[in-house]
Amino acid sequence: MTYHCHVCHSLDTRIVYRSAIKKSLTSACEVLPVNTQIRECVACGHVLSEALPDAAVFYAEHYQINLYHEDEDQLYEVIDGVHRYRTDHQFAVMQSKINLLAHQKILDFGCAKSSMVKRMLELQPQLDCHFYDVSEAYRAYWEKMTTKDKCAVNHIPKDWLNCFDIVTSFFSLEHIADVRTTIAEIASLLREGGTFYAIVPDMFNNVADLLVIDHVNHFTPRSMQRLLQDVGLSVIDIDLQSHRGAMTVVAIKMSEESNFVAEDYSAQVGKIATFWRNAGNSIQQAERDHKSPFAIYGAGFYGAFVHANLTNPDRVLCFLDNNNFLQGRLLFDITIKRPADIPLEVATVFVALNPTIARSVMASMSFIGESRQLIYMVED
């Protein structure tokens, strides 16, 4: 069977990773009984996987992000005991890149509950805000910020064409297999000179993204530039530094060709695939070597991956996480606890965090590591 690239439609794609176990994980840490298979496009450098079966039903009815609590968010970092959540950081990054002016017409595309527009309105209450998603689950959040006629699900109103000053997309493009059609639709909604501002996951600074089964697109700077330019969006900035684990993108709708030149990341993609091949083996070896009860530090994707690769997951007594919104909830029917509440009988802790920050985070958790063995996903 042939697979075409989601960005450039080339058939010249190659497999770079295939999971050893028939378990795949969604971004919501749900387990699907399929292998994870990742391809790279030789033509444009895009990294991709197949669309989920019944993807439309999945997003309309099952995929509900951060709805446990109105203010629920993902933890970005803890500095000197102060919790900073993802929306706080990504809003600060956005402010450094684009100007929000009174009466600008803004559309948040694929917006979920749109915590970012909520922040924008706090800064600039006279923004004219519109919302679009493929699920009705978030409509109640939008209608607290605007009127019903400025909210759309599944179908874009015709009178929205060529009228927006800014279209934003926060962590949505990675989910869309037909992303080429979607980005063309976004371009059609912008007025001439309008700004497209997007954030997508960055697998180079958060290697977990490569394996998220509902993330069917893993953008490289090269493939993102190709995607935008093909629909008449001129790239101003592709930034992998300002937001850890995410790529921020700024583009303008204009006839002039972009001067932005993106690097090739093919070698780095290969390194990430190797990391994940080694990680599964490392987890299973550590399980064999340590006979005491386990805890898993990290109740996100990395923690779910550790759990999925254990031969005997019943040995896991708890997950540990600093995110206040997760504590007290269940993941795979296992309680998520505060790190300070780690059970005394736990002698071994699997550290299930982004490897770029894992050791620095654990260095501040002396009460966990003083008398316990810390197991990292891939040891140095």
Mind listing the pLDDT tens digit for each residue in 63-116?
A: 555 433 344 566 666 676 777 777 888 899 999 999 999 999 999 999 888 889
Domain that holds residue 19: 13-58
pLDDT band at 364 (very low <50, low <70, confident <90, very high): confident
Residue 202 has pLDDT above 50, yes or no: yes
Return the beta strands (E) in 158-245 as ranges: 164-170, 190-201, 217-218, 233-239
**pLDDT in the model for residue 68:** 39
Of 18-27, 175-184, 241-250, 256-265, the range with the lowest mean pLDDT is 256-265
More confident residue, 335 or 56: 335
The mean pLDDT of 170-188, rounded to a whole number, is 95
198 and 119 co-located in one domain? yes
22 and 132 co-located in one domain? no
124 and 189 co-located in one domain? yes
50 and 79 co-located in one domain? no
Q: Would residue 30 be called left, alpha or beta, if left means φ above 0 and alpha means ψ between -120 and 50 degrees?
A: beta
39 and 87 co-located in one domain? no
Residue that is written with structure tokens 């989920």 in the block: 52
Asked if residue 285 is part of any domain, the answer here is no
260 and 305 co-located in one domain? no
Question: Rounded CA gap, 182 and 162, in Å?
Answer: 15
44 and 111 co-located in one domain? no
pLDDT digits (tens, 9 = 90+) for 8-33: 999 999 999 999 899 999 988 889 89
pTM above 0.85, yes or no: yes
pLDDT digits (tens, 9 = 90+) for 277-320: 999 889 999 999 988 899 999 999 999 999 999 999 999 999 99
Tell me how many domains the chain contains: 3
Asked if residue 275 is part of any domain, the answer here is no
3-state SS class at 377: coil
3-state SS class at 116: helix
**CATH (domain of 299):** 3.40.50.720
Asked if residue 68 is part of any domain, the answer here is no
**pLDDT in the model for residue 371:** 77
